[in-house]
Structure 1
Amino acid sequence: MLSDAWAMFRRDADLLLRIAGLFFFVPTYALLLLTAPLPMPDDTIVDTQARAQAWMTALDGWVGDYGLGSVGAYAITYLGLAVLFCLFLDAERPTLGMAIQRAARRFPRFILAMVVVSIPAGAGMYVLLLPGLWLMSRFMLAGPVLFAEPQTGAMQAVGASWRMTRRGQLGLLGAIVTIYLAAILAGQPFMLLSHYLGGEGGGNPLGIAIADACAAGVAMLTQLAGGLVAIVAYRRLSAIPAA
């Protein structure tokens, strides 16, 4: 599946990079530049209850300062993913402008499906990484189903993804693991560099901006790769020939 996704990218690289740049890179870069890191529990506080209370207070402050902007950035990213699915899976083969309009109209169903699948996948990754990635691979066709079969509801698409991916579990899991590990290996050094430059490095604004741009670029390519793999997987598992 990765080879088919790569072939898609090579064929339509110009269009895909324009979509990814607008919908994936820009909001991710904005988040990295303009929001503070999500607060974590302070291990220096010995009392468990006091530590939890301090963390919740810090989280409340973070949400108040950055919550709305973060939700907006993630919404733009998901809209870009919806545009990809509509552009390559809609039976009418829409133009880019038409795909954006249709993606916007179907966005409420799409975002509902994404929220539903993120709950078990996120919980699985929090407990153990591999089960979480496996759940991601099982639910990854929910979005493609919504745009290839526009009469399908959000919950129906989630169920359809679970049934369809039963046949290709290992291949999908392998693709997801490969993309995830590549993203960690390529992106983490830039995140660490940005953190260092913002702290011990003396607060170098230009260096931070460059490091964050590189990290956002890695995130953009990761999101694009995930979307293309989902498109390829849907075509293969539903016996739809590639365009």
Structure 2
Amino acid sequence: MRVTLAALLADAWALFRRDADLLLRVAGLFFFVPTYALLLLVGPLPMPDADIADTQARAQKWMTALDGWVGDYGLGSVAAYAITYFGLAVLFCLFLDAERPTVAAAVQRAGRRFPRFILAMVVVSIPAGAGMYILLLPGLWLMSRFMLAGPLLFAQPRMGAMQAVRRSWRMTRPAQLSLLGAIVTVYLAAILTGQPFMLLSRWLGGEGGGNPVGVAIVEALAAGVAMLTQLAGALIAVAAYRRLSRAAG
């Protein structure tokens, strides 16, 4: 079975059309709500002050500000991301568990497998995050190569976290360009669609006169965009796993 960008997008769209009501309810709870909470309640991550010429003083001020940010928002941010990853685990369980569980059963199974799942996601995020920090494209490529780590843990429930990461690397090798294209498509869609809302939110909160109602509305739209792109990424991962597992089998 061929794995092309067009095929992956078509498969993901078919999954969405078939189960849109279920997907939007799950994504709304696990993707939209925590993202919206982060946008509304968490302050921006402090950055080094370029106006301070002395490197040591700039680093010290930044570390102090970062320590304060972690104290104020760290626990809430971790909780929001954990909820988002749990929702991702629920979606993978719904579509890839051999027993086709109900939503309630999928939540229970996702909870039991969540420690392995979150371990795999942390392991994957280290090289992918470092790659995106240095150069964007290598980071996105690494994300595409580790895309199947999560799906594998639910399609093959006896598999361990590190085994799933290694297996994803091997399985994605024949289709790495198509998978990279899918990741880039989702990433660009998120940036191009969501960034205008984020810029408008900052303007409304500052130069626009500090309009809290306007900020809340615009950030809800930004959270909606984030929810849809997270959902698209999950469905593409499901489609990629199904096609690659059939090709390998």
TM-score, normalization by structure 2:
0.95
| Residue number in structure 2 paired with 1:75 | 82
Match of 2:45 among 13, 38, 42: 38
Whole-Å separation in 2 of the counterparts to 1:201 and 1:40: 23
Whole-Å separation in 1 of the counterparts to 2:83 and 2:180: 26
| Residue number in structure 1 paired with 2:172 | 165
List aligned pairs for 1:115-194, cutoff 5 A: 115-194=122-201
Whole-Å separation in 1 of the counterparts to 2:168 and 2:62: 37
Whole-Å separation in 1 of the counterparts to 2:81 and 2:239: 23
| Regions of 4+ moved over 4 Å | none
Match of 1:58 among 32, 57, 65: 65
1:164 is displaced (CA, Å) by 0.3
Whole-Å separation in 1 of the counterparts to 2:161 and 2:207: 47
Ranges in structure 1 where 5+ consecutive residues have no aligned partner: none
Whole-Å separation in 2 of the counterparts to 1:162 and 1:151: 18
1:200 is displaced (CA, Å) by 1.2
Match of 1:97 among 76, 99, 104: 104
**1:34-85 superposed Cα distances (whole Å, 9 cap, x missing partner):** 0101111111111111111111111100000000000000000000000000
| Residue number in structure 1 paired with 2:30 | 23
Whole-Å separation in 1 of the counterparts to 2:222 and 2:48: 25
Whole-Å separation in 1 of the counterparts to 2:138 and 2:81: 24
**1:67-124 superposed Cα distances (whole Å, 9 cap, x missing partner):** 0000000000000000000000000110010000000110000000000000000000
List aligned pairs for 1:4-15, cutoff 5 A: 4-15=11-22
Ranges in structure 2 where 5+ consecutive residues have no aligned partner: 1-7
Asked if 1:216 is matched to 2:234, the reply is no
Count of aligned pairs: 240
Whole-Å separation in 1 of the counterparts to 2:54 and 2:11: 53
1:129 is displaced (CA, Å) by 0.4
RMSD: 0.7
| Residue number in structure 1 paired with 2:246 | 239
Whole-Å separation in 1 of the counterparts to 2:217 and 2:57: 38
Match of 1:226 among 203, 209, 233: 233
Task: Give 1:117's aligned amino acid.
Answer: V
**1:136-183 superposed Cα distances (whole Å, 9 cap, x missing partner):** 000010000000000000000000000000011011000000000010
1:12 is displaced (CA, Å) by 0.5
Task: Give 1:9's aligned amino acid.
Answer: F
1:3 is displaced (CA, Å) by 1.2
TM-score, normalization by structure 1:
0.98
Task: Give 2:241's aligned amino acid.
Answer: Y
